[in-house]
Structure 1
């Protein structure tokens, strides 16, 4: 149980006591009651909004209710003082021993500090990347890949049972284009001089595929009609691209549990099952959609379609499940795929590019309808990454074959830099990736600043050993002053940050927190430059040094734990 959860339990017991005493009505909804760090650390160690959120329903005013709660909080052995502030907030100060004990807890729990049973084994399917299997991964895919993978790790840290899934879009026209592109490379491998026409994929990554086909098939398909080779080349080329994609993702430390095939979903009859399920619920009808905005009657021909009543679930219009030709729409196929996922999950999370924003409501509507609200679908939209080199933007075009591959970037700046940088802003905000700045040894570079904090901690132990400082025995943590305990207070927020980030599905919160923790450590370290008595390592005072090394070790442990969630290795030393 975290420190904050423990005090939430204390507060809950106090509210129970007030009910038993008849000073508070029974049955009040306490869901909005929170125990959290105050916005201003000078106000105390903890704060609660209990009086603010319960007063109206209790038929009293917040300050009056706070006046009933505060004395009972102050009576706790762990509390040194309580203050009612403003309209009724309650600020709590804890005895120093609480923070000394929390420091010991961080060190004793080690890599498990911050783990939680919040999820209680709830099954969550996180689908991310899901790029078309038409070539190697490029930097346009990178951010969604990192956000999805870090979110999966975050949820696991918080006690959820997570499945990492990649949806292979192998049923659309783009894979036929891929097969035709590979067929040209096959002919090239047999000695022909080819020219890649507009609309096909010109990238050299298809050269080895064509060579493999040439070695296996000889000239069998050179003059053969397309219907003889298209399906074969499509299947084989998609498989080759997926091998390439898996290898690219592995460079980032990303491995999926499931690769689900769109073609297999469509061929399984799952879409028919969706249609019948929705029909049984009275959510399918034959109808005509309104003309798109801007279309005139001359441009628009109304066609009767099989429609899903998605407006009943918050969508802005009903959606076609089938085209007039009788084939499934993209939405119909998506609904079938999501039902397949929902059969084995309690929650679904999709990491999509921002260009998919228009499809979110309809797919959420389908999931709600198909599962009767049992399964929730959360879609996180990821904005683009803008690449810069020497201050100049780098433009990418996959069709033109002049894109920046993920593999090239990882090899240039390293996996850890790439992963950390992808989490330095909210997923729904654009992100700039400058090749020079991300490797800069500067406090303006968040990757360096956090890694440097951990390296500094590691250096302390090496330097202490070299100076012959006796590190045996139990350190006296009462020697730590208020400034040093402030670091412990910030470190103690880590379990709470993990839980709140997991609930919000926002792994960037871990990066933000680590940046704050690193800044606090560096600030404390730098005080020793002005006042030697504040240095972590004081050879002439082994007892104080031992206590400060425990403090530094705890901060280092939190940094390692947070970086592990992000999929980033902690630096042992900075070059």
Structure 2
């Protein structure tokens, strides 16, 4: 299914033949041999570095290896030419029919075109969003939710066994603040005028919680001291906020497999077990840290603490896990949580954090490396800030949230599909400007519209073809005479389609779902250009009067474009449209 992988296999087979023939020594490491698009498209269709990476270990001149390899590759009917450039780079041109054969592959596999077994069923945990359960999700969480869900979809498509997980931060002081804020709304529901002081949550979203508490408790808690109601209200309000968060995620099209409670780590021995594991490896000790950067010894009160020797696994400094008063630091439950992931048997972990967690990456990687004996890799992805604009002005905060723009504000403005695609039009670690007006604009400058329009245009072409008496089913189009294709623009579009499986594997390998959004825009652009060519040159229209064979071949090409767009949008969690 991956044409680049097929040609790489051909290159490796040719190199093996050269070893058998004595042109190359035995025992060469071929793992660094690659087949990729050339930097300059005018040089050919594909290029291989084989001669360059094998020259030194083979004690041969790269040019000599390249010449011999070129001769062997040229014998394969799929290779139109093999040309040596410079000191030993090898550029390949393929038979155009090979590129066009991708059309048949795409139509036969449908939206599964490009699906691979690269992951070989390895278990991957993708933890994302993980917002404090103190209110609705805001726009920053929206980006993390879209990125994490799209990444999980991509990895699933690449053959991994993926678990989507949400870490509920319900073990800290913020849930006590939530309980006190809900109590104020409870008093309000009982007819009292209340004032939200600094440190409480004033958002309207707690009004229904206060009303529900009033229905449950009446006025029985009005004069009760905090120690009477705090635990119950903490649990009640946290559950209500989790219901709100689940509803927000559902509105965005995100469904978690696991919700893991931080609170479940306390008082259960699970934090102690994780630290005992580290202690057994000589990584826990009592010590005193140096003053943080920017602090002089005079400003720093040195205290003996229980420390994790994270520097043994790449961190800059060792990290405290227990305070001098014996209580846990915020890092200790995070260690225990990741220990739980490791013991659940995941082969790799991915954490999606907000931009403000950049300083947390090294210590978390060190912890996972230590807990898993370097067996389980942890990749931490940071999502940068989102700036919202409407009518050329920054989008104002939500009254409902009290202090921020919510996920629902965004989805209600433009819909889940547009929200998701726009959030992936920049790499996760680059800032993103989200302009509501541009997101709804019907122009080439709006990537969401441009990609969706390409899919809708193909569906329109297929309907018109059917009206003209052409069988436009996938089975019929995959049997079309593709030798009718040959225009450079048609070839370029077929080549773009053929790069889809490779693009998917690279995106999965680097954990970069934005590559899919970029690719879909480029594919749509190639398609729209070919459609426009038909307006300038009537002979290049997709539907040619009186020429059913050519029309079928071109419709097959268009249908393959729709297949890839639908498959790519599906990975991103976006629904393709058939009419616009």
Query: Match for residue 409 of structure 1?
Result: 410
Q: Deviations over 1:234-280 (max 9, x none)?
A: 11101100000000110111000000001102332221112111111
Q: Describe the shift of the 1:250–1:481 C-alpha distance in structure 2 as closer, same or farther (beyond 3 A).
A: same
Separation in 2, partners of 1:482, 1:400: 56
TM-score scaled by structure 1? 0.97
2:540 aligned with 1:534, yes or no? yes
Distance 1:7 1:400, change over 3 A: closer
Say yes or no: does 1:478 pair with 2:475.
no
Contact 1:81–1:94 (8 Å) recurs in 2: yes
In 2, Cα distance between equivalents of 1:297 and 1:74: 71
Report the counterpart of residue 388 of structure 1 in structure 2: 389
1:494 aligns with 2:500: yes
The residue aligned with 2:18 is: 18
Shift of 1:407: 1.3
Matched residue, 2:375: 374
Residue deviations 1:371-394 (CA, integer Å, cap 9, x gap) = 101100000011010001111123
Judge conservation of contact 2:204–2:401 (CA < 8 Å) in 1: no
Cα distance in 2, alignment partners of residues 38 and 416 from structure 1: 34
Distance in 2 between residues matched to 1:65 and 1:74, nearest whole Å: 14
The alpha-carbon deviation at position 397 of structure 1 amounts to 8.3
Question: Distance in 1 between the 2:411 and 2:531 partners?
Answer: 32
Distance in structure 1 (CA, Å) of the matches to 2:339 and 2:74:
52
Contact 2:451–2:520, Cα closer than 8 Å, also in 1: yes
* CA deviation profile, 1:389-417 (whole Å, cap 9, x unmatched): 11112354899814222112212211110
Among residues 509, 515, 519, which one is paired with 2:525 in the alignment?
A: 519
5 Å-filtered alignment, 1:274-285, equals 274-285=274-285
Deviates more, 1:513-522 or 1:97-106: 97-106
Does residue 329 in structure 1 map to residue 334 in structure 2?
no
Query: d(CA) in 2 for partners of 1:178 and 1:502?
Result: 39
Distance 1:325 1:397, change over 3 A: farther
Q: Deviations over 1:467-497 (max 9, x none)?
A: 4446585421100014212211110111111
- What is the match of residue 288 of structure 2? 288
Question: How does the TM-score come out when normalised to structure 2?
Answer: 0.96
How many residues are paired up?
Answer: 574
Secondary structure of the structure 2 residue equivalent to 1:520: helix
Q: Tell me, which stretches of 5 or more residues in structure 1 are unaligned? A: none
Does the CA-based 8 Å contact 2:137-2:245 persist in structure 1?
yes
- Residues 198 and 399 of structure 1: CA distance in aligned 2, closer, same or farther (over 3 Å): farther
Structure 2: unaligned runs, 5 residues or longer: none
Aligned twin of 1:451: 452
**Secondary structure of 1:33's aligned partner:** coil
The CA deviation at 1:15 is: 1.4
Q: Are 1:567 and 2:573 an aligned pair?
A: yes
Q: How far 1:531 moved relative to its partner?
A: 0.8
Secondary structure of 1:84's aligned partner = strand
Q: CA deviation at 1:140?
A: 1.8
Superposition pairs of residues 256-267 of structure 1, within 5 angstroms: 256-267=256-267
Residues 204 and 399 in structure 2, CA contact (< 8 A), matched pair in contact too = no
1:66 alignment counterpart: 66
Closer/same/farther in 2, CA of residues 398 and 43 from structure 1, 3 Å limit: farther
The structure-2 alpha-carbon separation of the partners of 1:113 and 1:312, relative to structure 1 and needing over 3 Å to count, comes to same
Q: Distance in 1 between matches of 2:11 and 2:231?
A: 65
**Greater CA deviation, 398-407 or 527-536?**
398-407
